[in-house]
Amino acid sequence: MPSPIASLNPQQKEAATVLEGPVLVLAGAGTGKTKVITCRIAYMIEQGIPPASILGVTFTNKAAREMRERLDRLVEPELSKKVTLGTFHSFCARILHRYVHLAGHYNSSFSIADDTDQISLVRQAAAELGYSKEEIDTRSALSYIGRKKNALQWPADALAEDANTYSDNAHFARIYERYQQMLELQNTLDFDDMLLITLKLLEEHPEVLEYCRNTYRYLLVDEYQDTNQAQFKIIQRIAGEKMNLCVVGDDDQSIYSWRGAVISNILDFPKHFPGAKQVKLEQNYRSTNAILDTANAVISENFSRYDKNLWSAKGQGEKVKVFRLPDGETEARFVADVISNMISRDPDRLWSDFAILFRSNHLSLAFEQEFRSRGITPKIIGGQAFFQRKEVKDAAAYLKLLVNKRDDQCLLRILSVPPRGLGDKAILTLRELQKTLHKPLLEILGMEEYHAQLSKSAASAAASMAGCISQYATEFQQPGRLADRVQDYLIDIGYLNGLQKIYKNIEESDKRRDNILAFINYIGIFELRQKRECSLGEFMETYSLLDDTDRTEEKEDCDGPILSTVHAAKGLEFPVVFIVGMEHGLFPHERTLKENGEEEERRLFYVAVTRAREQLFITCAAARFKYHEYVRQLPSPFLRNLPESCVEKPAPESFIQPEAQVTEDELRNAFADILKNLRK
């Protein structure tokens, strides 16, 4: 087998072979980042480093799978599988299963709360504190909790900071405290807790830190520019002063501050880890130089960044084309016409070779309608997700209860799904009794004390449901045959055959049933891929840790133009890209400009530009329909940063005559202003 670094260019080779001490790899867009990471791991193994001592963390399951697949091709599978590769949350789950009992009333059978669970808990917490539905905006409260956790603040910290303020935050701090209490009582963690509690264990329990440092002597972090405070501190804590730490990232692609990402983590890496080796990857293998020169010119306007200059051996390529259209509807027709013409001229072109990227999701509607009116079905990245469908989440709630009997949210979700005679009155009685008994709802569901307060039929239904869950919880303590046993359970509990009680339309009921059977089939495939008998707890952890890339339903056999936000398109590439809606207030977004976020908006534009391999089109509209009238739009100020040598002036006929909103002369003059301000 040839050396794993044989195919790397000189800069990539340097990034892969400096193994000792801290290393910062600045990997520009399209420079072969994943290849470098996997070759580095393979080289480490080749140099005699035990694979079990290597930890690689990234942000999505898709990225982790790609790394694993590439590593399997570089080293023997027996060695590859000993390397720990996964997301931050999957790594934290490993630590928590071993040590979470040290962090309070949790045990290793903890559940992981998804978005729906969190919303339900916040509503319940607010209600218990005496707030009405009208007084508290649930999502604002949940956003507050997320911000506090991203700032490493527990409820006590939030109360100390906000309880005496005259703002919504005073109420949200109280709700945060009750929300966190409920999570712990139900042996449940949200995604932020997985990071925070892992960090707490590392900081307060020396045996946890010692275990991590002794187990993982070589640490590799992907997409380092996206790390938040908790992730940074976890890395810093494990790394210590002597850790062999390699981080790979691109400050120019830091676009997730709204999720808590802290760009200073990568910008200040040399300060955090003195003596760090710095390697820049600048040779791009994706795009033409016209596209890269445009990207370089745009991002060079930012002040807070490492200096990089992407280049390619693919040649100059076609110039970037910029068009200003009369309105949003005309913009959509224009883009659809251009794509249709390109496909008609080149029979080898696929519709999916074309991506339409926008800053804000609402812009997708005009393009989706335009394509559908032509009989073309666009492929929407980040569209409806299979695992977010109600019937699938209901089935998952039934399974979660088998693993964690303290998960009250799951029981409340499925108590009346399908209807079984346990209505609002029975649920209210159940919750009132819990205030007295201080026991999990599932345990109370099977108690005579509860049954005595119900009608005969309701008591029978409650006893039957509690007994069935208890029986299967015992049975599922044994691993293996997950899919068959899950199907039996969902039939016996009355869910699978009770769908017609929920969905009266037979066709709709059958469609939902098919989705549940597909979910059961997914469980079977999961166990098959593990090549061993698995426990239900293992599957539920994998399910709970699914990220957006897993949850997005993508029909691989469907050929349609791609519609995507720029955020959702990060990490992807397309032969031809249209960046649409390039107007002031849209891109850059008005809200972020008010929050001094211009540099991040420019990084987002840079990400959009670098998705293109062969051709790049940029469009904006002179007017958009808002509030029942057309409103004038100014071109994005980012268009002034485009280098004149890389931009092709549109011919006069490229301007489509508007319907009285804007004159052709106005269009010409506006575009002339853009061209006049282009970089020389």
Instruction: Give catalytic status of residue 594 as yes or no.
Output: no
Catalytic position from the list 31, 58, 180, 253: 253
Which amino acid type is present at position 39?
A: C
Distance CA 76, CA 176 (A): 48
Distance CA 500, CA 495 (A): 10
Instruction: Give catalytic status of residue 611 as yes or no.
Output: yes
Which amino acid type is present at position 467?
A: G
Here the tokens at position 139 are: 């999502």
Closest to 73 (Cα-Cα) out of 34, 110, 30, 120:
34
Distance CA 170, CA 52 (A): 47
Catalytic position from the list 389, 611, 613, 624: 611
Cβ pair 352, 521 in contact under 8 A: no
Instruction: Give catalytic status of residue 345 as yes or no.
Output: no
3-class SS of residue 111: strand
Degrees, nearest 5: CA angle 69-243-214? 80
The backbone region for 294, taken as left when phi is positive above 0, alpha when psi lies in -120 to 50, beta otherwise, is alpha
Handedness of CA 382, 384, 389, 390 (dihedral sign): positive
Instruction: Give catalytic status of residue 409 as yes or no.
Output: no
Please tell me the number of Cα atoms within 13 Å of 484 on its side-chain side.
7
Catalytic position from the list 12, 13, 14, 33: 33
Cα distances from 139 to residues 116, 145, 309, 484, 591, in angstroms, run: 11, 10, 41, 38, 18
Catalytic position from the list 162, 193, 223, 527: 223
Cα distances from 187 to residues 22, 103, 108, 285, in angstroms, run: 37, 11, 9, 47
Question: Got the DSSP string for 171-239?
Answer: HHHHHHHHHHHHHHHTTEE-HHHHHHHHHHHHHH-HHHHHHHHHH-SEEEESSGGG--HHHHHHHHHHH
Q: Which residues, at least 6 apart from 389, have a Cβ–Cβ distance to it below 8 Å?
A: 515
Using the 8-state DSSP alphabet, how is residue 679 labeled? B
Return the beta strands (E) in 33-100 as ranges.
54-58, 84-87
Give Dmax (Cα) for the chain: 84
Instruction: Indicate the pairing of strand 612-626 with strand 629-632.
Output: antiparallel
Closest to 621 (Cα-Cα) out of 672, 665, 655:
655
Instruction: Give catalytic status of residue 223 as yes or no.
Output: yes
Instruction: Indicate the pairing of strand 244-249 with strand 283-284.
Output: unpaired
Instruction: Give catalytic status of residue 34 as yes or no.
Output: yes
Here the tokens at position 341 are: 């013409």
Distance CA 315, CA 313 (A): 6
Catalytic position from the list 17, 34, 215, 453: 34
Question: Got the DSSP string for 352-414?
Answer: GGEEEEESSGGGHHHHHHHHHHTT---EETT--BGGGSHHHHHHHHHHHHHH-TT-HHHHHHH
Cβ pair 587, 359 in contact under 8 A: yes
Distance CA 77, CA 531 (A): 13
Distance CA 97, CA 104 (A): 13
Catalytic position from the list 222, 353, 368, 599: 222
The residues with which 248 forms a beta bridge, in sequence order, are 25
The residues with which 249 forms a beta bridge, in sequence order, are 26
User: Catalytic residue numbers?
Assistant: 33-34, 222-223, 253, 611
